[in-house]
């Protein structure tokens, strides 16, 4: 049996830990640049504040109802998260940290899992001060469904166990397909079109081949999870990341190439640092720049370029250099996004013909030198994505799909006009 421990409105409740007076008040936490709401308490939700709502649209509402509004403080959240993980590990040896506010626990050998779940909840509340919901079930998918009910129906006391088949039937029957873990709008719509509306109908749908056809292998795996067949086993022990990204929205237009260069270099060095921490090497970098997708008045701009290493490296200097060269490629060739075979160039490792990039930027040079000092030899491995966003980026990653292919731009001088 597995359990999912999921913090309630995690970022908000981290802020509340230091503010006793906010216990009953609605709280929200804003994204980078205070752009939009990324966490909200139950009270804030009751006021009609949606996840991802742009702050300028809800500011008045917040002021009127005395909502406590915080800028995000990720180092705090990471720290609290680590404390919770430590506490959980003392209770259960085999756990998988799924995200900053969630962990799966292996409850094998524990006799009364439901009362154990209640104990976990009480301990986290007592030791950390964080309210959590606990969902118990034979698979991750059923744990997720249990948690869904625990959060939705307060009379459950924040802990729901789906050990028994009857209880599974009961919960899944009331659960719309698009609320299933791994099924969202897109897949949910496909299921609706096949006449499948609830999680229970999905679980009991007999034609596996049809599910395979409309939702691919992933859909079948999700279906099995609901049937109690494990498709996604617990992965204890930290896996290495396959892609490391660093990106930031500027919150204002950017008109200076050197600002972009600085930013790219900073992202690249952060990525390189993380890369070395997990003892991997980089096989290539790619950068991405785009203008504000919400702006209707201006012409949109989106470009990306990548650089492949002939020899994978963990050398920060080379990674920064490759990222800057990719930027230079965008500058020189105006490489268009969403074309197959997007600008992949092979970096000659010892090629010092660096297009004179570093002359522009003394602090960059310093950073590069500093980072080059602490190289270490590590194993061959993973791919790196250095991503850059310029102007104001989209709220949700998947919205990029809706982005129309931009006008081809050949020169850097045209870029500012687009921002």
Q: Taking CB under 7 A as the rule, which mask of x and - marks residues 366-385 in contact with DNA?
A: -------------------x
Does the footprint of DNA cover residue 306 (CB under 7 A)? yes
Strand order in the sheet with 282-290: 282-290, 302-313, 344-347
Closer to DNA at the Cβ: 40 or 395?
395
Interaction between residue 36 and DNA (CB under 7 A): yes
Q: With binding defined as CB under 7 A, does residue 155 bind DNA?
A: no
CB of 249 to DNA, least distance (A): 4
Among 47, 61, 332, 342, binds DNA (CB under 7 A): 342
Asked if 161 is part of the footprint of DNA (rule: CB under 7 A), the reply reads no
- Could you say whether residue 274 binds DNA (CB under 7 A)? yes
- Cα–Cα distance for residue pair 190/118, rounded to 1 Å: 37
Beta bridge partners of 376: none
Scan residues 196-255 and list those touching DNA (CB under 7 A).
216-218, 239, 241-249, 251-253
Q: Which of 374, 397, 404, 410 binds DNA (CB under 7 A)?
A: 397
Among 17, 46, 229, 344, binds DNA (CB under 7 A): 344
Q: Which of residues 48-67 bind DNA (CB under 7 A)?
A: 52, 54, 56
Long-range contacts from 232-237, C-beta under 8 angstroms, 24+ separation: 232/139, 232/140, 232/141, 234/2, 234/94, 234/96, 234/104, 234/106, 234/140, 235/96, 236/94, 236/95, 236/96, 236/106
Query: Minimum distance from CB of 20 to DNA (Å)?
Result: 26
Q: Which pair of structure tokens corresponds to residue 307?
A: 């650089």
Strands 132-137 and 159-161: parallel
Nearest to DNA of 111, 237 (CB atom): 237
Question: Residue 412: which region, alpha, beta or left (left: phi > 0; alpha: psi -120 to 50)?
Answer: alpha
Residue (of 279, 273, 261, 282) closest to 370 by Cα position? 273
Stretch that binds DNA, among 100-108, 158-166, 314-322, 370-378 (CB under 7 A): 100-108
For residue 185, state whether it binds DNA (rule: CB under 7 A). yes
At what angle are helices 140-152 and 165-173 packed, to 10 degrees?
60
Indicate whether 100 belongs to the interface with DNA (CB under 7 A).
Answer: yes
- The single residue among 200, 318, 325, 395 that binds DNA, judged by CB under 7 A, is 395
Strand partners, 136: 3, 161
Q: Is 214 left (phi over 0), alpha (psi -120 to 50) or beta?
A: alpha
The single residue among 96, 225, 328, 393 that binds DNA, judged by CB under 7 A, is 393
For DNA, the binding residues (CB under 7 A) are: 31-33, 35-36, 38, 52, 54, 56, 98-102, 144, 180-188, 216-218, 239, 241-249, 251-253, 274, 292, 294-295, 306, 308, 337-342, 344, 385, 387, 389, 392-398, 401
């Amino acid at each position: 049996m597995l359990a999912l421990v999921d913090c309630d409105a995690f970022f908000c409740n981290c802020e509340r830990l230091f503010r006793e007076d906010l216990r009953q008040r609605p709280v929200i936490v804003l994204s980078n640049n205070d752009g939009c709401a990324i966490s909200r308490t139950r009270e804030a939700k009751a006021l009609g504040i949606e996840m991802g709502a742009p702050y300028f649209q809800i500011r008045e509402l917040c002021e009127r109802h005395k909502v406590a509004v915080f800028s995000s403080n990720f180092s705090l959240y990471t720290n609290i998260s680590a404390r919770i993980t430590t506490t959980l590990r003392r209770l259960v040896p085999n756990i998988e940290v799924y995200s900053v506010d969630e962990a799966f626990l292996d409850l094998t050998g524990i006799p009364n899992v439901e009362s154990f779940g209640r104990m976990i909840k009480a301990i986290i509340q007592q030791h950390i001060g964080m309210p959590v919901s606990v969902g118990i079930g034979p698979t991750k998918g059923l744990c997720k469904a249990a948690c869904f009910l625990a959060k939705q129906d307060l009379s459950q006391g924040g802990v729901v166990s789906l050990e028994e088949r009857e209880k599974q039937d009961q919960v899944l029957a009331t659960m719309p397909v698009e609320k299933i873990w791994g099924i969202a709008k897109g897949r949910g719509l496909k299921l609706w079109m096949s006449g499948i509306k609830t999680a229970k109908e999905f679980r009991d749908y007999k034609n596996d081949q049809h599910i395979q056809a409309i939702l691919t292998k992933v859909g079948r795996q999700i279906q099995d999870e609901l049937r109690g067949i494990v498709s996604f086993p617990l992965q204890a022990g930290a896996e290495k990341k396959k892609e490391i990204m660093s990106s930031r929205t500027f919150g204002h237009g950017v008109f200076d190439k050197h600002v972009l260069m600085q930013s790219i270099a900073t992202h690249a060095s952060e990525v390189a640092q993380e890369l070395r921490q997990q003892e991997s090497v980089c096989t290539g970098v790619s950068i991405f720049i785009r203008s504000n997708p919400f702006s209707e008045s201006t012409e949109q701009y989106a470009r990306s370029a990548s650089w492949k290493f002939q020899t994978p490296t963990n050398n920060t200097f080379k990674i920064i250099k490759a990222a800057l060269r990719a930027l230079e490629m965008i500058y020189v060739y105006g490489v268009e996004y969403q074309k197959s075979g997007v600008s992949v160039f092979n970096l000659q490792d010892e090629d010092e013909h660096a297009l004179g990039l570093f002359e522009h930027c003394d602090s960059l040079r310093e950073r590069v030198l500093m980072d080059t000092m602490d190289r270490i030899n590590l194993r061959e491995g993973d791919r790196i994505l250095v991503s850059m966003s310029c102007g104001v980026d989209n709220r949700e990653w998947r919205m990029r799909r809706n982005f129309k292919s931009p006008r081809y731009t050949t020169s850097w001088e045209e870029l500012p006009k687009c921002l």
